Amino acid sequence: MKFAVLVFPGSNCDVDMYHAIKDGLGEEVDYVWHHETDLSQYDAILLPGGFSYGDYLRSGAIAGYSPVMAEVKKAAEQGKLILGVCNGFQILLEAGLLPGAMRKNQSLKFHCFQSPLEVLNNQTAFSKDYEQGEIINIPIAHGEGNYYCDEETLKELEANQQIVFRYKKNPNGSIIDIAGIMNKQGNVLGMMPHPERAMEELLGSADGRRLFTSILSTWREKQKHVTV
């Protein structure tokens, strides 16, 4: 499986994401600059955390118009797996690949610590290696992680089981404790916590590893059907 880690001006978690794939999974991975206009060689696309374009206007707002995002949208339509973490989640929202918006943390402070999450839906390409209702520990590091959407969108997210992860102790004011959501098709996930920083027990948790193994096993199963 071949992964792309997108890099925008201001990305600072791209190295962590690259390490999670290359050393954690042992899979092929490339850094891809935001000016790239062809992602056809990649099976999965990862948008890392950071402060793209210095978070000017709104977090992820400018990056949402980067040339590479047209290709990300095309890849999403093709059913490729796309993961946006922290600033990557914000970019997916700004680009319209996921519903809702992100606001400043309710405390107006930057938070950085291990955060317990509940796995609300383990029947997805990103969570199949977790148990339903399992509590996992994934670190957060954000100042604008307060997810918001209108009532109609929230009802839709709940009805379609698009809420994949929920905070057990809400650190930012996010509506109904939402930590991660996916699109209706189930191939685009955005989450504020950093699974790429939870790949080894030495770092405090290895609970993030199973998110990436879920992606890998989903792709392998799909390849079996393609080759049969």
Going by C-beta distance under 8 Å and a sequence separation of 6 or more, which residues neighbour residue 222?
none
Instruction: Identify whether 13 is a catalytic site residue.
Output: no
Whether residue 152 lies in the annotated active site: no
Please identify which of the residues 94, 142, 144, 194 carries the catalytic annotation. 194
Query: Could you please report the per-residue DSSP string of the chain?
Result: -EEEEEE-TTB-SHHHHHHIIIIII--EEEEEETT----TT-SEEEE--B-GGGG-SSTTTTGGGSHHHHHHHHHHHTT-EEEEETHHHHHHHHTTSSSSEEE--TTSS-EEEEEEEEES--SSTTTTTSPTT-EEEEEEEES--EEE--HHHHHHHHHTT-EEEEESS-SS--GGGEEEEE-TTS-EEEESS-GGG-SBGGGTB-TTHHHHHHHHHHHHHHHHHHH-
Exactly one of 13, 34, 71, 86 is catalytic; which is it?
86
Residue 194 is among the residues annotated as catalytic for this protein: yes
Active site residues: 86, 194, 196
